[in-house]
Chain A
Amino acid sequence: MIVSALAFYVFAAVAVASGVMVISSRNPVHSVLFLILAFFNAAGLFVLLGAEFLAMILVIVYVGAVAVLFLFVVMMLDINFVALREGFMKYLPVGAAIGLVLLAELLLVVGAWSFAPRAKTVLDAPVPAFDQLSNAQALGRILYTDNLYLFQAAGLVLLVAMIGAIVLTLREREGVRRQNAGAQIARRREDVIEIRKLPAGGGGQ
């Protein structure tokens, strides 16, 4: 018991500290690395809660894919550290306002959740013990059985977003030579090579 409490405080403290470092460190690459540390500690908290499936998915999706792309983009940026700090005071009020709005939204969500009429019934629904139903099965039941239509709708939204991103960035460039593996393999000797018998001294005629 003491060990898990200790682990909780370590994970939580490191998660919060690295979250602060994400927004306060001067170098964007360090920010991304601290973000990764924060993800890891969140995964550790999930493990402590017994939600091992969510913990692994968090590491795979956010650390293994999303943060790699962040790092990829941030590293390729040509960063001027002086210019980065210039507008700090100018943007501070706007940033603070957005932060306040987000905080208010979070508080509202938490407040509404505890007062929502359905929340009580969801919480009171019988939950099978961990040894009877694994994490993945429980999540699968919620996503694919109980809330199938919402799940499909979310998938559609993501599909539309993906198509939008492709349409926005697609451009046809002139004069690009592309390799067509199928055409290369389909080439036959007779089509491309011609063997001629040349008479000696005929000059290639």
Chain B
Amino acid sequence: MLMFWNGYALPTVIIVAQVVAIVVPLMLAVAYLTYAERKVLAAMQLRMGPNVVGWWGLLQPIADGLKLLTKETVIPSGANRLLFVAAPMLSFILALVAWAVIPFSAGMVLANINVGVLYLFAISSLGVYGIVVAGWASNSKYAFLGALRSAAQMVSYEVSIGFVIVTVIMCAGSMNLSKIVEAQKHVWFFIPLFPMFIVFFISGLAETNRTPFDLAEGESELVAGYFVEYSSMTFALFYLGEYANMILISAMTAVLFLGGWLPPIDIAPLNWIPGPVWFALKIAVGLFFFLWARATLPRYRYDQLMRLGWKVFLPFSLLWVALTAGVLVYGGLV
């Protein structure tokens, strides 16, 4: 009995506690990211933003969530019921499970696996299924067109994200996310790899279907794209998944390029601040750029989107992979 407790039950309890400790702050962050988005957009458009519910509108996300919970879930009669309900769950679950390998500080990670980067890449490449299945199961032409656009878009940009990740792996010499962060002790990778940092950020915008690449939603032509038939909590799950993915891409940017939990310079007042705080700050900066892009940029046309992915980013990132490998070998850094 004691062996069972020590061998299986106790680790399970600890892991569940760790998962809760990651997911609850993440959900709060998602809720307040929607608030931050509305406030930032409002400020950039010289408006007030939400300011009625709670102090400075701080309870607005809670009110929105409660409103969505009490609405009726409508399932269209021609829809494939099982897949229609499974699709939002899939998008939401995928947005959460990726956090298992994100290191919040030295040793502060749920699963410190050797192929952490590949795990993140695999999970983010699965995100397309939630959207495609939703579009197909809705049995609606707008949803279907949105889903097809999104499938093509995400597959295209994944290729260049893959090459960006390859350059980072080459510089760090490891696929373990904690080791990638530790490799940035002297210089954060966004300085030597600045062009790849830009490619990664823009591909991240495309991967999360955010402006200027939100063609999957395209509210002016596709009336909201793949989630046009969704209501209530099924819609809320898509929404939460999208925002959780934004936070995830920002976290990936912070880990791969901005030195994760490390302070900018390793001197006295800066390295007193604990690692998770630096990490959260870096994620917040990334998120601000996401919101800024939404307030500033018009939507890309579809052929321009494909041209940028395949004819600009792909050859450019391929060239940088070769260049980085050449510099590393020539400089004897590997």
Contact = CB atoms under 8 A, between A and B. Distances in A.
Contact of A52 (B113, B133, B148, B151): B113
Interface in A19-53: 29, 33, 36, 52-53
B304 A179 contact: yes
Of B115, B121, B151, B175, the most chain A CB neighbours within 10 A belong to: B115
B303 interface: yes
B136 interface: yes
7 contacts: A52-B113, A60-B121, A63-B126, A64-B121, A64-B126, A68-B154, A72-B148
Given A3-B8, A52-B113, A71-B132, A76 B148 contact: yes
B214 interface: no
Contact of A59 (B122, B133, B148, B175): B122
A52 B126 contact: no
A36 B129 contact: yes
B136 to A, nearest CB: 5
B125 A60 contact: yes
Interface string B114-128: 110011011001101
A63 B118 CA distance: 13
Interface of A: 3, 29, 33, 36, 52-53, 56-57, 59-60, 63-65, 68-69, 71-72, 75-76, 134-136, 179, 181
Size category of the B interface is 20 to 34
B158 A64 contact: yes
Contacts of A3: 8
Contacts of B115: 52-53, 56, 135-136
B114 A65 contact: no
A65 B151 contact: no
B136 A65 contact: no
Most chain B beta-carbon contacts within 10 A, residue among A56, A57, A76: A56
A60 B148 contact: no
Given A53-B114, A72-B151, A134-B175, 18 more contacts: A29-B136, A33-B83, A52-B115, A56-B118, A56-B121, A60-B118, A60-B121, A60-B122, A63-B125, A64-B125, A68-B129, A68-B154, A71-B129, A75-B136, A75-B148, A134-B114, A135-B115, A179-B304
Given A135-B114, A135-B115, A65 B125 contact: yes
Contacts of A60: 118, 121-122, 125, 162
A57 B126 contact: no
A57 B118 contact: yes
A59 B136 contact: no
Contacts of B129: 36, 68, 71
Most chain A CB within a 10 A radius of its CB, from B122, B125, B128: B122
